[in-house]
Structure 1
Amino acid sequence: MRNIVSVYSVTMGLAMGVFWSVLWAMSLLPDMSAKPMELVTTLTAQFTTALLLIVSGIGMWFSGRWALRLNMFASGMLVYSLIQQPGYYLERHAMTFVVLFAVTFVITVLLSPAFKPSLDVECES
């Protein structure tokens, strides 16, 4: 289970980084000129979540106990993001993204060690 969580975390971290980087590069970020400070804090949160998922996922692959704790924190950040971000797409009736976020939310809750304290024992080695 630890390796599955590890791969999922790295994959989600990379996906988040790519998603936001592509939006940024293509100047498709929401409210870019109308709410620049809100955008800066959103991007900071998104890229921090992505980085922590990648670092903790790699750490979990190598059985680092510190990585499990970091992954729990990063998973919480991801869950918040997956609850908050769909609002933008709901307002624009972009249901494909809403469904994508919902499915990712369910998978994250099912896999995340933050919701499975028993995984803590597996990562002690």
Structure 2
Amino acid sequence: MKQLLVALIAGSLFGAGLAFSGMADPARVQGFLDLFGRWDPTLAFVMGGAMTPMAIAWIIQRRLEKPFAGEQFSLPGTTLIDRKLTIGAVLFGTGWGISGLCPGPGFADLAINPLPALAFVAALLAGMIAHRVTS
């Protein structure tokens, strides 16, 4: 129950942050990616602002024996840049540039602008299924 409550609070904070910062608006993201047009630097400030609390979280995590709502930390290992990572990054970046959405804002937009977000989330889920079937 504790894990579910922590996930609910974290997800709510993340969604509220996306909405407050305007990052759930695909036009804002596409404006950031439009380097030779009407460039919008807002996303750079949001990313920069996210780095400070994340750096603090990593420092705190190193001092903890176990997470607040779990038995052990589940942290990804560091791997080399390989073909699968490169292809995945290219696909992610292409989809992000075309739609102006990545998974977090895509799911948040289900509540804000459901029809376009539904198409994005359906494509996202189809890609996840395709990856699972082909891996």
TM-score by length of 2: 0.30
Larger radius of gyration: 2
- Looking at secondary structure, tell me which structure has more helix per residue: 1
